[in-house]
Structure 1
Amino acid sequence: MTGKIIGTVRSPRGTKGKTTSKQADEAAPQTPERQIRRRPKNRRAQIAAESAAAFGAHGYHGVSMDDIARRLDISSTALYRHFPSKYALFREELLRLSGLALSATELPEEAAGWSPRERVDHVVDAIIGLTIANRPTVALVRWERRYLEPADFDELNAQFAAAIAALRTLIGEVRPELDRRDRAIRAVAIFAVVSSIGDHHATVPAKALAPLLTATSWALIDADLVRPDGTAPAGSAKDRYQPFKHDLLLRKAVELFHERGYPNVSMEDIAGAADLSAASAVYRYYRSKSDLLVAAFRRAADRVSAAIAPAIAAADTPAAALATLIELYVAGSFDERALTFVYYAEFSHVDHADQVTLRHLQQLIIAEWAKLVVAARPELSMGEARILVHAAFSLVVDLGRAFGDEICPQPTVVQLLETILLGRPLPR
């Protein structure tokens, strides 16, 4: 009897009848099918790509393994099955990029029948194409390579050195009258200009970016640079006076940030470098380590922005105004080389509110320089001019890091910046 009650349902007419097996199936609650998540065959490559994007956006110290796992929607345990540490992911991306740079300088077999300019064209096109394809992460190599362990650092540098040497040799085939030094300077300059697109978000249409970088690369190869006469520039301002304590603190902090990286410097380190007894003494002048960094960045930005109006007012032409600004920018960068590097390498460590202010000031500076570039070269758009201004600014850092002041002195750097912005060095 009980079984009959359980096995009946009320018919549409209110009568009772037996449930068919089909009706019972329809009446029973449907159990959702179990979703089976299959591991992608290319999971390791997917992890490497996602971690590279994270490092590119936030820097090595701004990303954790948990961050990467969340981006991939996997567990940290699954992530560690493929890579033992965050460092392993960071190392993989940087060595991948240095390997790409080296591969870009390799010529195909058919290049044996090409002219020297055709061979250079092929390599420059390859460098530009690979850099554009990897734009979100190329800045890692420029500013975060110092976080590599010594053996990995040496491997990365060896690959880039080989790539620069290969390009230097090809430039020598185009311009055999140049000595080894001049060829090397131009090779480094080309890599610096092309990779500078990773330092900013300025954009131009894709069909315009590659030709712009190609034309600038050839301008650097073809430029006739005047050798300096050997006269040493006047002593820098910082050597002519005893700085106030807050200036000394700022300079020592920047030097430490440059040598070790911002995350690896403590307030105690800064106090010791400035001959202060304790970290508490630093707080009399600056509220925090981040406050020191912001003060340094403001100094760098103010130095560049303050020169714009006087240079324009004193010049007869836009090209002349640019020439003055270039001279002042290069002199200031040589005067405070560590600060110029730190400005690019440590910007992500500034508080967000200060980042907004500093970026706005930087954009105003770039825009003013770009207006002068367009006025001097009407064939360029404002977007293209901005790309070139960014390239000129970052070139100073790369040349200083690669050669130092002796091999690439101020007059040479000035002429290279003129070539980038004006298409050729100005007569001397």
Structure 2
Amino acid sequence: MDGYVQWFKETTQKELKEQTFRVGKTNYVDVWQLVKTVHTYWAADQLCGIPLKTKESPRGKYTFTASFLGLGDTERFWELLQKARKASDVIQGATRESVIRVGPGLDDPKGKSDPYRVDGLAKSKTTIALLRTSAGGNSSPVSQLVKRPVNELVANIVGLANGSSVNQAHTALNVIDFYLEDSRKENLKDILKLIAKNDADSNKRLRGYIREAMRLNPQFTGLWRVATVETEVPGVGKVKPGERIWGGFKKAHLNVIPCELSFPAHLVVPPQLMDFPSPTTVDPTCDPSKYQLNGGGFRLCIGVDFAIDVIAEILKIILPLKGLRRGPGDSGRLVKTTKIFNLVERWLLILWSVDKLLTRGFHQTNQYVKPDGSLSDWPQSMKIAWDDSTARYIFL
């Protein structure tokens, strides 16, 4: 994984130099465009093998914007399902071409043995390194994975690309945005000291700060899940198989007491049993095992450590910039609003059953304002400014 983290570090440095512009004596960069560019290159070039149109490769197959939207659309909501399938088809098709390239003979139309198997991938050191990383460093799952049909491997790669590109870019932006708030100046001062030291203990504490920003300013507020067995959910009641449940990740990360524990109101909960004793306060020393920041699915294998280590390298590049601050006015802030989903379902459920309202409910999530006033699931722009003279001049 160290090699991947180093790739992010070098690519972020390169893109910062390329995208920075100067007005008078002040340097600016749109930090959202910066992290989005880096993560799209990662998914397209490093994971999926999709050739992008760049200055260095003008004959690339897809533009940067098309690749980002294609990766993003596969993670959007029900009303975009049809578009998501179209985007997913394009991304998976391009990825499949890359898989076939590293496994010669896999796409034999005559199918002399099994043309849809990927045994040939075992010859590719790069691919095996990626698969071993996704298997948590264990070579056994890798050997099983390369025996799967190509379409299964492609789905695995694209799923990994979604989480480690568009979602991770959004998460990185949220962390930067979180610590640029005036109310967190003391946190930022401590972070800058940790970055300057750059030793094992400092990096451990820095990762704690990243987890706290992900907890208090999450990229997603929760996920819909379908119950497979009948169970009792604390604070909600009984849930039957087949019922849809909204898992509120943001709310769960503000719990003082773990959900599996219950104490009478008159008793004091021992501190060692608390998840987050001061749930709205930043505490970089919280036990990492208390967090569930990347969902509960198979993507945990690469997700947690990978995301935090990558974001740490991005912070080490961005936050120490001399005199770092937000851009002027709205340019330095994420212009957003809160959207309520499933409002119709909410009112129907109120008439139907209060208990079912609690299990299904409605949820809120951030929506970002586009220049034309419409809304998007993705941030649009957030500029930062600083004072050193390393920027590339665009205009004076």
Quick check: TM above 0.5? no
User: Which structure: greater strand fraction?
Assistant: 2
- Larger RCO (alpha carbons 8 Å, 6+ apart): 2
User: Which structure: greater helix fraction?
Assistant: 1
When Rg is computed on C-alpha atoms for both structures, the one with the higher figure is 1
Provide TM-score, normalisation by structure 2.
0.23
